[in-house]
Every structure is written in C-alpha cells, then in structure tokens.
C-alpha cells in the first residue's frame, strides 16, 4: 500500500467547499459546474493538451498499468472507430477473485464513514479532472466521439455527474442526527433516558456495467453514488470502451491507497469477448447494487434475474418530437438538424421520431406541408454537414458495425427523405463516418417507428393531426420508453396538452428549442436525467431515489 499522503478526513476538508456548493446546487437546480468544460489552455494550462495526448499515446500497444488481484492473462478487445491501432491489454480476473477481493476491502471502506467517503470521492474526481485530456483521447478512440465532445462528455461533464451523486449521497447520509440523548418524561419518577447512535450501513458490493458510447458519463453516477454511500465497486466496462474506465479505476485505487484504505474498494473487471462476465457477476449474492446502461434486452434480463440487488438501468428508448407550429421555422430546422447529427445520433437522448400533421403546419414563413417540413429538414442537415471539417466535428465516427447495419436496413423502411452518406475524415483516413438518414413513414407504420433504431436514423411520421401526434408520443413512451421528448407549437393549449402528456408518460419535455440548447443535452445538478417513470430507465440517475437504496440506517441504544 502506498504511503499515506492525506487521510480521508483531510481530503474531506480539502474539498469541503466543492461539496457544499454541489449540495446547494442539487437543492437549487440552477446552473452549476465544478469542472470547466472548455479544453482551452487558458483553463487547463498551456501544456495540458500535449501532456494528455502523450499520456494516452504511451498507453497504446502495452499492458495497462494497474495492480489488482487476478491472473497474469491480458486481454485486448478495443479498436478505434477512427482507424488507429490501440492494442491496450487489461488484466483478466474471474468473478470469484473479484468478489473475494471486494468483500475483503469492504470493512476498511465502511469504517471511513460519510465524510471519509465524500473526501476520497472528491479527491478521485479532482484527479480525474486533471487527466481530462488523457481521458478525452481514450473516449474519442474507443467510442468514436469527436474530440471536443469526448473532452466535455467524457471529462468535465462526467465528473460533474459524479460530483452530483456524491452531493446527494452526502446530503442524504448526514442530514439526520447521528447521536442523541433520548428522554421520555414519566408521570412518576425520573425520565426514561437512552443514548442512541445511528449508523449508515452500506448495502454491499456495487457492479457498474459500462456502455460503449459514453463510458464515463454513464458510469460515474453509479460508481460515485455507491462509493459515497460506503459500498465497494466492481467496474465492468464495455469491451469496446475499456480504457476510459480503466483510467478511472486506476486513479481511484491510487487515491484509496494514498489515503490508507484498501485499493480493492474499486476493481476493474475486463472481460474476454463473449465471456458474459457481467451476467455472471450480476447474479452473485455478493453483488447488491447494479448500475447498467445499454440494451433493453440485457437491462430487462438484469431486472428479472438479479433479484438480490438494487438494479438501476438506463435502456433504449424511442424519443419523439411533436411539431405543431412554429414562429421560428429556420431555427427549429437548425436545432433539429444539430440534434440528429450530434455524435451521429448515437446518444440515448437523440430524437428519432418527428411527428408532423399530414395537413402541414403554420410557420413564420407561411404554411408548410408535411412533405415540405421533411424536405426542409433534410436540406438543413445537408447544409449543416456540407463542410467535411465541420461535419466530422459534429458527427464523430460510427461506434460499431451494428450501427452501420441498422442504417442500411432502415433505408428500406419508408420513403427516403435524406440518404445517409459517407464523409471522409480530414485527419483519420480510416474513420467510419456517416451522415443521418431521414425516412418518411405514415402513422400506421408503428412497426417501424415504434421501436428504437440506434444510430443516425430518423423518421418523419405523418399523423392525422397534433392530437394523434400527442397520443403517439404517449403510446411509444409508455410502451418502449423514452429519455427525451420535444414539442414545437405557438398554441398555448397545445403546449399545455404536450406537458400533460409528457408528465403522464413519464418523460422529460423540451419546448420550442431553436437555439444552441439541444434536446439531446442534459445538465448535471439541474436536469433529472432518466426519469425512472417509463420503461427506458428504472430510476432517475440524478435524484434521491437513485441514492437511498444503496444504504440502510441502523441504531444502537443503551441507558444513559
């Protein structure tokens, strides 16, 4: 174990202001960010970018530097969507080894208490922030995100989500008295007096199952929520995106060791291809918490089979936009074009179905038929992506072959409004880049648009009227789930009906977005991402219900 550089209490004091500001932010729900999102040298220093890239390059083609229980076997499963060789080898350990090590580390971590948990977590986040450029390259070359998105979503935005989880956990585990002298008056004689102590009891080992598109942004809430409530964590990355979470685990183990705690409190579970290590771990009785982001099929399997654990899933959804009318037609088209193009639609929040009345809509440019709306949206996407340099900065690269297969199949599902086309990347000749596909279908084709088509695929659905559009929004959300919804209308009655529909269906709603804020984007400390109120998620990833199942309260009492 490394020499102790700061114990958990010292780390808590070092980061107390950061924590107090974060707790205030989750109560106030206003804008808050502890970690700057700009990769500017003015923010992170003149050498940070070069040093971060050099650190990333040094990891390629070598065994990842992490010392944890397990055999000598190294596995290599990642390839860059940009075509550069990665070749990073990770240690492999079986479920028995990982869970035995996690169980052995639990008493040390449990004893640190809420302040210690928070202090260590905050120091981990601080050091991750210092490694944001390295993590950005790791995210870019495992997921296909463009660099700026990889920096922001993989670094500071993910770190903010981790901090948000720590803030909730600290607030919920410390808001009540820990000791009390309890006195009950008696009609005769002295009062009955007891001294009581109250204890936060962690639930047990947490399992974080990472995704292949946003490995840190989706993993950090569960990772830090479990750690900040006293639970050890096993991190099982997606085989295509191991490196960002391997860096995270290495940093966490470094901080734990320096604080005099067991580094096995956080463990990396890299898996062989087709090993199904997540399924093996998930059903073990030692695993008491599971956080998963990914396919509906495996999410449903976890919910049905991991009965011993608190299971929090974020699964696939069918995100819908209802277009009724607009007084900013070009702004609406531009906003939707950006939403469809950002990271090639490979986001759980990207809109898929755009519902437009067959009779058309009223706009500030006059009446537009449904066909005109579809054609103008296709033109807006085409214009947005006309310059290859600008296009790749928005689109990134395709994360896997399954996405390409879905794009090819979707082209035959209706009338093509805008075909998907290849884009040559100016820097990476072997990058796989595709523009969005837009297909027009009638409302009776729910067999097509009623299921998720993950990737750069959108459907313009022609409905009878806005009433039918709202009914379809409600139906697809309650049947298949959704993480976002949007509406465009100049009619207050329609906006009221849309909000009532969204509330009843349990989905977050964006109204008349025409500027730089996209329906895809979710702000830490303010937006409740993943409501848990429809089938796309079992719990909001950023609210108290996400935290409280991770611990219990017990007490001891004795006569004073």
Q: What is the DSSP string of 400-443?
A: -HHHHHHHHHHTTSSEEEE---B---SS-TT---BPPEEEEEET
DSSP string, 325-357: B-S-HHHHHHHHHHHHHGGGG-STT---EEEEE
Fold that domain 320-511 belongs to in CATH: Aldehyde Dehydrogenase; Chain A, domain 2 (3.40.309)
Element (DSSP H or E) covering residue 381: helix 370-384
Classify domain 49-176+192-315+539-559 at the CATH topology level: Aldehyde Dehydrogenase; Chain A, domain 1 (3.40.605)
Domains 49-176+192-315+539-559 and 320-511 share a fold: no
Q: What H or E segment, with its residue span, contains residue 447? A: helix 446-449
Domain boundaries, given as residue ranges, for the chain: 49-176+192-315+539-559, 320-511
In three-state secondary structure terms, 480 is: helix
Please give the angle made by the CA atoms of 433, 439 and 443, to the nearest 5 degrees. 145
pLDDT values of the chain reduced to their tens digit, one per residue, 560 residues: 445 578 999 999 999 999 999 999 999 999 999 999 999 999 999 999 999 999 999 999 999 999 999 877 899 999 999 999 999 999 999 999 999 999 999 999 999 999 999 999 999 999 999 999 999 999 999 999 999 999 999 999 999 999 999 999 999 999 999 999 999 999 888 899 999 999 999 999 999 999 999 999 999 999 999 999 999 999 999 999 999 999 999 999 999 999 999 999 999 999 998 899 999 999 999 999 999 999 999 999 999 999 999 999 999 899 999 999 999 999 999 999 999 999 999 999 999 999 999 999 999 999 999 999 999 999 999 999 999 999 999 999 999 899 999 999 999 999 999 999 999 999 999 999 999 999 999 999 999 999 999 999 999 999 999 999 999 999 999 999 999 999 999 999 999 999 999 999 999 999 999 999 999 999 999 999 999 999 999 888 888 999 999 999 999 999 99
User: How many CB atoms are located within 10 Å of the residue 105 CB?
Assistant: 21
Asked if residue 311 lies in contact with residue 283, where contact means CB atoms within 8 angstroms, the answer is no
The C-alpha atoms of residue 451 and residue 442 are separated, in whole angstroms, by 15
Name the residue among 34, 231, 53 with its Cα closest to residue 133: 53
Sorted by sequence, the CB contacts under 8 Å of residue 3 that are 6+ apart come out as 258
């Amino acid at each position: 174990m490394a020499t102790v550089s700061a114990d958990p209490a010292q780390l808590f004091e070092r980061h107390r202001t950061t924590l107090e500001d974060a707790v205030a932010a989750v109560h106030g729900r206003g804008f808050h960010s502890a970690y700057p999102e700009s990769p500017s040298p003015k923010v992170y220093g003149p050498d940070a970018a070069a040093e971060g890239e050099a650190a990333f390059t040094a990891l390629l083609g070598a065994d990842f530097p992490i010392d944890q229980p397990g055999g000598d076997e190294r596995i290599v499963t990642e390839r860059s969507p940009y075509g550069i060789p990665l070749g990073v080898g990770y240690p492999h350990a079986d479920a028995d080894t990982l869970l035995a090590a996690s169980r052995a580390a639990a008493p040390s971590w449990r004893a640190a208490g809420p302040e210690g948990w928070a202090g260590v977590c905050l120091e981990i986040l601080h050091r991750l922030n210092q490694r944001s450029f390295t993590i950005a390259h790791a995210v870019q070359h495992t997921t296909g995100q463009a660099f700026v998105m990889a920096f922001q979503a993989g670094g500071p935005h993910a770190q903010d989500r981790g901090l948000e989880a720590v803030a909730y956990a600290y607030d919920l585990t410390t808001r009540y008295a820990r000791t009390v002298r309890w006195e009950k008056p008696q009609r005769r004689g002295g009062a009955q007096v007891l001294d009581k102590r109250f204890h936060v009891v962690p639930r047990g080992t947490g399992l974080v199952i990472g995704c292949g598109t946003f490995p840190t942004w989706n993993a950090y809430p569960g990772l830090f929520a479990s750690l900040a409530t006293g639970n050890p964590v096993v991190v099982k990355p997606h085989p295509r995106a191991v490196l960002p979470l391997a860096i995270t685990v290495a940093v966490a183990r470094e901080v734990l060791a320096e604080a005099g705690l067991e580094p096995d409190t956080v463990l990396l579970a890299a898996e062989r291809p087709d090993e199904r290590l997540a399924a093996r771990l998930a059903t073990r009785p030692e695993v008491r918490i599971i956080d998963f982001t990914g396919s509906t099929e495996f999410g449903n399997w976890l919910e049905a089979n991991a009965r011993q654990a608190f299971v929090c899933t974020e699964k696939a959804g069918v995100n819908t936009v209802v277009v009724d009318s607009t007084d900013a037609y070009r702004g609406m088209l531009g906003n939707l074009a950006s939403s469809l193009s950002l990271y090639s639609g490979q986001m759980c929040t990207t809109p898929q179905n755009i519902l437009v009345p067959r009779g058309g809509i009223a706009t500030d440019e006059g009446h537009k038929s449904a066909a005109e709306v579809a054609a103008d949206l296709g033109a807006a996407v085409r214009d947005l992506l006309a310059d290859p340099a600008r296009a790749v900065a928005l689109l990134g690269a395709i994360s896997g072959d399954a996405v390409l297969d879905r794009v090819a199949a979707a082209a035959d599902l209706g009338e093509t409004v805008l075909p998907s086309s290849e884009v040559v990347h100016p820097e990476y000749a072997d990058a796989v880049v595709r523009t969005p596909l837009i297909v027009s279908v009638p409302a009776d084709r729910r067999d097509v648009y009623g299921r998720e088509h993950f990737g750069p695929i959108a459907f313009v659905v022609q409905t009878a009227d806005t009433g039918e559009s709202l009914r379809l929004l409600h139906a697809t959300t309650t049947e298949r789930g959704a993480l976002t919804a949007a509406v465009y209308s100049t009619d207050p009655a329609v906006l009221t009906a849309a909000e009532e529909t969204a509330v009843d269906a349990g989905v977050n709603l964006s109204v008349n977005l025409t500027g730089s804020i996209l329906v895809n984007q979710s702000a830490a400390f303010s937006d409740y991402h993943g409501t848990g109120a429809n089938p796309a998620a079992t719990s909001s990833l950023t609210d108290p219900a996400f935290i409280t199942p991770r611990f219990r309260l017990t007490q001891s009492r004795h006569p004073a």
